A and B are shown apart, each in its own frame.
Chain A
Amino acid sequence: MRELKVGTLIIGAGQAGASAAFALREKGYSDPVCIIGEEALPPYERPPLSKAVLREEKSLSDILVRDLPAYDSHNIQLMLGSRAEQILPQEQQVKLGDGQVISYDNLILATGGRPRQLPGKALPGVHYLRSHGDGTRLAAELKQYKKLAVIGGGFIGLEVAASARKMGLEVCVIEAAPRVLQRSLPETIAADVVALHEDQGVEFHYNARLQGFAGTDRLSGIQLEDKSIDADIAVVGIGLIPNTELAETAGLAVDNGICTDAQCRTGNAHIYAIGDCANSYHTYYQRAVRLESWQNANLQGAIVAAAICAETSDIQNDAVPWLWSDQYDWSFQVAGIFDSQAQLISRGSAAEGKQIWFIHSDGVLTGVVGWGKGTSIAKDVRVGQMLLQQGKTPPFDMLADENISLKKLLKL
C-alpha cells in the first residue's frame, strides 16, 4: 500500500473544502494539499441544485466551485470517490475506505451534512436533495410526473416548489408547523412569500402530521392524520444533520456540529472543522453558531487557511450571517440571526416589487431581510448587513423612510 503524506488534508470536497484549499494557496502555503471527496465529482456549488439544475438550465460544469485545471495550476490534489473511514489523531493519519493511509500535518474536516430522513422504508418517487446526483434524478422525474408534494416548508422546499411550478407540475407544500419558514423568518415575511406561491398556484397544508406514504412500487400519495393527498413525486426537505461521526470517533468535542474556536480549531491542535459540519465560536454573537450557508462555507475556508498559515491578522469568525433564496423571479436575502419575538420595521412594499424589513429586539437591530424582484433588494440588505456588522441601530423612522439613503445611515 503506497503511503501518502500531505501538509494539509481536507476531508470533504464541497464549497468549504475547496474554498479552504484555494485560500491556502492564495496565502502562499506551499506544502502538499489534498482533498478527499466521497462523490466522484469535483467540488460544486449546491445552491443551484434546487433551482437551475432542477430546471436543467445548468449542468455540472456550470456549477463547479473552480474548473478542473485550477486544481492542477494550484497544485491541489483531488482524491474523489474516496471515503475517509477513520481519523487516527495520535498518528496524525486518516484511513481511507480502501485501506490507504494518509499522514497529515493539518487536517480540515469539511464533512458537511446529510438530509434528515423520514422514518420508514424508501419508496421510489420520494426524493431528498443534497447532491448533484439527487438533483439530476429529481430533475428527470419532474419532467415525467405531474403532482409534487414538498414535505417541509423551508428555503429548499420552497425553492423546489417554485422550480416545479415553473415546470408545470401541480405542487403542494406540507408543513408540520403552523406556518412555513418558522425557524428562519418572522411570520409577516413568511406570509408574503406564501402569497407569491399561492398566486402561482401552490397549495399549503399546515400543522400536517405525516402518517406515511401511499403506494407499493411507487409513490401514489401522502397520508396525513386528517387527509390524504395525491402525489406521484415527493421531495423531503426537513433539515440537515451535520456529519460529525468521524470527529466523534476521533474523540473531538461534538455538540450540534464539531466544536471549534473562532479560527475553526477543534480541541486537537492539528485538526480544524469548517462549513455546515462545524459549530464554531462566533465573535460577533459571542457564542457558538452552526451555519448552513454558502457564505459561511467560503468564509470559514478563508479563516482556516489563515489559521494554518499562522496569520495573526484579524481574520476570524465574526461575519454577520447572510444567505439568499431565489423563488420564481423573486429573491430573498437575509442578514443576521433573530428570534421569533423580534419586531419589524418595514421599508418599501412587496406590492411594488421591493420590500425591506429591519428586525430588532429591544430596540437593537438584529437582522435585515429583503424580498423583491430580481436583485432589487441586494444593495439595501448589504448596507443593512454592514449596519449590523458595525453594531449600529439608526433611528427607526429613518430606516422606514424610503427617501433616506441607507448608505448615509452608515456614516451617521
Chain B
Amino acid sequence: MTDWVLACATDDIDEEDLIRFDHEDKTYAIYNTDNGFFATAGYCTHEVQHLEDGLVIGNVIECPLHQGRFEISSGKALSAPVCEDLVSYPVKVEGDQIYIQIV
C-alpha cells in the first residue's frame, strides 16, 4: 500500500534549499535543486539531527551538526561522519503542488 501525500507548494522551497515536512509520526526533508524536487528522510543518519538547517549545494545536502554529506537524489552517504544512506522517497509535481510517495 503506497500513498501520495501532499507535502508543500513548489514555491515554499527556495532554489537550492530544503524544507522540513512532518507527516503523521514521521519527518521528511523536501528539496528544490537544479535537477528538480526530491524528498528524503528528515533526520541525519549519524545523530538525531534534522537536516532542515543544513546547506544544499547542487545535489548535496550537508547536515548542520557535523557536516555529514548526502546525495539528495539518492540519499547516498558521501563522506564521514555519515556512513548510512538516507531513505529517499519518490516525488511528483502536479501544478504547483509537490507530492511524496510514502511506503
Contact = CB atoms under 8 A, between A and B. Distances in A.
Interface of A: 19, 22-23, 66, 294-295, 298, 301-302, 322, 324, 374-376, 378-379, 382-383, 407
A66 B16 CA distance: 32
A19 B82 CA distance: 12
Given A382-B62, A407-B16, A375 B53 contact: yes
Contacts of B67: 295, 322, 382
A302 B64 CA distance: 21
B55 A382 contact: yes
B53 A302 contact: no
A267 B65 CA distance: 36
A324 B80 CA distance: 16
B54 interface: yes
Contact of A378 (B64, B80, B81): B64
Interface residues of B, number: 13
Contacts of B49: 375
Interface in B18-68: 49, 53-55, 62, 64-67
Interface of B: 16, 49, 53-55, 62, 64-67, 80-81, 83
Contacts of A324: 65-66
A298 B54 CA distance: 20
B80 to A, nearest CB: 5
Given A322-B67, A407-B16, A379 B53 contact: yes
Contacts of B64: 375, 378-379, 382
Contacts of A66: 83
10 contacts: A66-B83, A298-B81, A375-B53, A378-B64, A378-B65, A379-B54, A379-B64, A382-B62, A382-B67, A407-B55
